């Protein structure tokens, strides 16, 4: 069987096709302002050296904002619950050129969380993928 890597950087360095940060932010500010969220996403993309494709942000009534930045290396997203001071942030990047952790200081600066927790998941572990290939890819 032949496996050609769509992302040669993943084979060389990370050991996975991507890194996915699941970020819990509690005691936050600025959770109900659509434009602040939009600009924060753009700044976070720049901070982690990603390639911005587009940003979409939606404000809910009476409160809450969801936003997503599509990047060439995957995505950054946020969902807010201002009534609880809570934000759920996902930062998913592929390859070794973009470090998802470099986006975190932007979220911290803008949202000013009292508490933050981060879980990292390595997505598409290459060893597992190589061992479970059921068809030849060229």
Count of structural domains, the chain: 1
The enclosing domain of 78 has a CATH number of 3.60.90.10
Residue 135 belongs to some domain of the structure: no
Residue 61 in domain? yes
- Identified catalytic residue from 20, 28, 48, 74: 74
Q: How many CA atoms are closer than 13 Å to the CA of 72, on its beta-carbon side?
A: 11
Q: Which of 29, 79, 117, 135 is catalytic?
A: 79
In a domain, 45, yes or no: yes
| pLDDT tens series, the chain, 138 aa | 333 444 444 444 458 889 999 999 999 999 999 999 999 999 999 999 999 999 999 999 999 999 999 999 999 999 999 999 999 999 999 988 899 999 999 999 999 999 999 999 998 877 665 666 554 444
In a domain, 3, yes or no: no
Question: Is residue 74 annotated as part of the catalytic site, yes or no?
Answer: yes
Tell me if residue 94 is catalytic. Answer: yes
Tokens of 93: 């990047």
Residues 75, 54: Cα–Cα separation, whole Å: 10
Three-state DSSP class for residue 49: coil
pTM for this entry: 0.82
Query: Residue 32 falls within a domain, yes or no?
Result: yes
Q: Which structural domain range is residue 21 located in?
A: 8-123
Q: How many CA atoms lie within 13 A of 122 on its CB side?
A: 13
């Amino acid at each position: 069987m032949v496996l050609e890597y769509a992302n040669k950087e993943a084979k060389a360095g990370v050991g996975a096709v991507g890194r996915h940060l699941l970020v819990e932010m509690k005691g936050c500010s600025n959770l109900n302002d659509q434009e602040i969220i939009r600009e924060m996403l753009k700044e976070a993309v720049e901070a982690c050296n990603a390639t911005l494709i587009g940003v979409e942000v939606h404000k809910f009534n009476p409160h809450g904002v969801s936003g997503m930045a599509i990047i060439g290396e995957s995505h950054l997203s946020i969902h807010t619950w201002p009534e609880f001071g809570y934000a759920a942030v996902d930062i998913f990047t592929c390859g070794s050129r973009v470090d998802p952790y470099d986006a975190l200081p932007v979220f911290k600066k803008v949202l000013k969380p009292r508490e933050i927790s981060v879980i990292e998941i390595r997505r598409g572990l290459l060893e597992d993928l190589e061992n479970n290939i059921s068809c030849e890819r060229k």
